[in-house]
Amino acid sequence: MTVFKNENWIKKKLASAKQAVSKIQLQRLTGRMKSMLSKVDRIPNEREAESDTNLQIEAGSKKRPFAKERMQSTLDSIRQAAWPKELYAKARYYRMQLATGAGALGIATVVTLGGSQYVQMNTVEVFHVYLENQEVGVVSDPQVVDDFKLAKVKEIEQKYPDVHMVLNTDEVTLKSEKAFKAKSDDQGTLDKLSGMLKSHAVGVQLIVDGQPVGILKDADTAEGLFDEIKSKYASGKAKDAGKVMVLSAAQPKELQAGESEMQKVEFVQKVELKPIDIDPSAVQKTEDLAQKLETGDIQPTKYTVAKGDCVSCIAKKFNISKQVIYQNNPWIVDDMIKVGQQIDLTVLQPALSVRTVEKIVENQEIQYETEYVQDDTVRAGITETINEGKNGLKKVTFNVTKVNGLMMEEELLSEEVIQEPVKAKIRRGTKVIKGEGTGKFSWPVISARLSSGYGSRWGKLHKGVDLTSGNKSIMAADNGKVVYAGFKSDYGNHIIIDHMNGYRTLYGHLSKIDVSVGKIVEKGDKIGTMGSTGDSTGVHLHFEIQKGTTPENPSKYLNF
Ligand SMILES: [Zn+2]
């Protein structure tokens, strides 16, 4: 399209054309020019120029933008030349010839073929409008139909704000026709088309694990609902978990102790959205569907605490998790429940469950170890601290997977020791002295009965206790070493054991002595037999406990 090279070129053509035609022909041409100029007696503004262009090149062509582009350069060159309106009109006229297919011959040809030019001048392009291949009418300009379609869609959107309505405007097609004095009827065609257009509602069906669960207005509404459900289990930044994840993949962020980062927020179930044609009344309220998705249409279950119930007992009885009981009944503290209280045991069965994976970084204490150092210079049973132990610290990174906020899995990712623990060192005595007493006395006779207690008796001190029993065996009251085993008039046959811890015990009036001096005995060893030797009135054991050389009341050491 470089026909309009410049003004001079046109002028030259016109001049040569004038010379070539007869006066009459020239008059006819001039007349026609004049009539044309009267039609376009304005310098078209941009908009008009454009639509004019469209009209020229759109006929039967779907390559409108492309053709428009090509024409644009031509229009621009016209505008740039800033021709007087007369010339512009001429040029425009000439362009029409080109566009309709005859123009390639040039203006000289047009002029010489003035007769056929008349027909072409009166050739009008019109557009037949079809709906589903049925002709509706004829319009003058495709724009008329485009505008109508837009207005119609807007109108139906206003009428059904909650439902996504679709008009079958896609089935409207146009066919151009160029005919001599062709007629069009814009309004009539649009009126008729308006009555023929059909609207229907479309929605998206929400399918969870293959099961249809509801219908929403559109995908945007569904996505909004999904975000809302997910956000309940994802804190703040987690809503953008997808973004966060992408960021951290490219540029790993070092989390500090006490920080966490949502790695994933996703549905456990497979969720699909399927566009479907629907009855406008089938669209569900987002809130209703949200509730259904989150609770699963479950009726609440209440339980009254009975005697003997406990939280874990109830959980076991109903085969539910203790965590559910705590979640539903936040008033339960320290597992305290009372008979008659009502407990909510509703277990929700959400159609949609949200799985979150959160990376958590925590500082954890490392328990110190204790090392024992055996020391045979210290008596057995005695310990002393050499070094105090100190707990260490480690930074632990782990992933916590939760479903609907309930912990499912914890995965340790890494551990980094910040501070090593300090081992405790403890000295433990191992020294065992043979015959050394434990410091605790046991009964020297089994099933002993006290026949006479410690204290003053008949004007003098009774230095021990008198014990009788059906069992005559006498046993060492503690570990020790026999320091006396023999007979004296008052105690008769008797034994004295030194426990080597400051204490001695004396066993008197024995009928038989089983040990000799120097013998090491252990607590409970049989050392002799009960008797009535010495200054005695009947078979019994006279038993003394001496601290140093002073007799003590044995009831201080033995439980009478
Ligand atoms: Zn006595």
Domain boundary assignment for the chain: 7-121, 127-197, 302-347, 355-431, 449-556
**Which residues is 373 bridged to in the sheet?**
427
C-alpha 228 – ligand 1 centre gap (Å) = 92
- pTM greater than 0.85 (yes/no): no
C-alpha 519 – ligand 1 centre gap (Å) = 25
C-alpha 454 – ligand 1 centre gap (Å) = 8
Residue 285: phi and psi, rounded to 5, are: -70, 140
C-alpha 58 – ligand 1 centre gap (Å) = 138
C-alpha 544 – ligand 1 centre gap (Å) = 8
The number of angstroms, rounded, from the C-alpha of 87 to the middle of its chain's C-alpha atoms is: 72
Q: For residue 335, is pLDDT > 50?
A: yes
Collapse the DSSP code of 284 into the 3-class scheme (helix H, G, I; strand E, B; otherwise coil) and give the result.
Answer: coil
CATH class (in words) of the domain with range 449-556? mainly beta
C-alpha 462 – ligand 1 centre gap (Å) = 6
pLDDT at position 397 is 93
> Of 440, 452, 454, nearest to 501 (Cα)?
440
Q: What is the average per-residue pLDDT within 313-327?
A: 85
Q: What is the average per-residue pLDDT within 319-345?
A: 86
Instruction: Read off the pLDDT band of 3 (50, 70, 90).
Output: very low
C-alpha 503 – ligand 1 centre gap (Å) = 19
Domain 355-431 falls under CATH 2.20.230.10: yes
CA atoms within 13 Å, Cβ hemisphere of 8: 0
| Burial of residue 97, with CB atoms counted within 10 A of its CB: 0-12 exposed, 13-18 middle, 19 or more buried | buried
pLDDT at position 388 is 94
Cβ atoms 494, 509 nearer than 8 A: yes
Instruction: Read off the pLDDT band of 378 (50, 70, 90).
Output: confident
Name the more confident of 360 and 30. 360
pLDDT at position 503 is 95
Hey, what amino acid is at 172? Answer: V
What's the residue count for the chain? 560
pLDDT at position 372 is 92
Instruction: Read off the pLDDT band of 217 (50, 70, 90).
Output: confident
Give tens-digit pLDDT for 402-416.
888 888 888 999 999
- As a whole number of angstroms, the distance between CA 171 and CA 58 comes to 19
Q: What is the average per-residue pLDDT within 111-121?
A: 58
Query: Which token pair is 26?
Result: 């020239």
* Residue 6: C-alpha distances to residues 10, 80, 82, 228, 492 (Å): 7, 10, 11, 65, 157
- As a whole number of angstroms, the distance between CA 185 and CA 140 comes to 7
C-alpha 521 – ligand 1 centre gap (Å) = 23
CA atoms within 13 Å, Cβ hemisphere of 76: 8
- As a whole number of angstroms, the distance between CA 214 and CA 205 comes to 6
> Of 487, 480, 449, nearest to 465 (Cα)?
449
Name the more confident of 469 and 349. 469
Of 3.20.20.70, 3.40.50.12780, 3.10.350.10, 3.30.300.210, which CATH number belongs to 302-347?
Answer: 3.10.350.10
DSSP codes of every residue in 69-110: HHHHHHHHHHHHHT--HHHHHHHHHHHHHHHTT-GGG-HHHH
Name the more confident of 460 and 298. 460
Name the more confident of 454 and 51. 454
For helices 85-99 and 7-20, give the axis angle rounded to 10 degrees.
80
Owner of token pair 């597992």: 335
> Around Cβ 473, how many Cβ atoms within 10 Å?
14
Q: For residue 371, is pLDDT > 90?
A: yes
